[in-house]
Amino acid sequence: QVQLVESGGGLVQAGGSLRLSCAASGRTLSRSVMGWFRQAPGKERAFVVAIRWYDGSTHYTDSVKGRFTISRDNAKNIVYLQMNNTKPEDTAVYYCAGRGVDWTIPTSRGAYDYWGQGTQVTVSS
């Protein structure tokens, strides 16, 4: 089992920056994929970005390319989401997710086995 705990959410003005963190515990992440999803009010939970732990390969959804950056700290088992040039449409609850196999970097919610509790991000215009 893997436990995921997000932090770093909050209120930011449009154009500002925010960094989310996801601390993982319970098992090694060396062969895992870790990702971020988000769920806006009244909408489905949607893929944002994911990273393959062992080689750092990433996959971003188009709407955040060039603005968001995912990274990991191998020693601390933490994955980060740096959010720059934020927009009101980025407002959502952001969830950290993980899966224990890494031959692909999936974008579907059902492909991930572990989830954090979510952290609210609100971008004001």
Q: Summarize pLDDT for 17-53 with one digit per residue, the tens.
A: 999 999 999 877 778 999 999 999 999 999 999 999 9
> Percent of the chain scored above 90 by pLDDT?
87
Count CA within 13 A, CB hemisphere, residue 15: 1
pLDDT at 122 over 80: yes
Q: pLDDT value at position 102?
A: 84
C-alpha torsion 84→89→95→99, nearest 10: -80
Specify the DSSP class assigned to residue 34: E
Q: pLDDT value at position 1?
A: 80
Count CA within 13 A, CB hemisphere, residue 8: 18
- Region 64-77 average pLDDT: 96
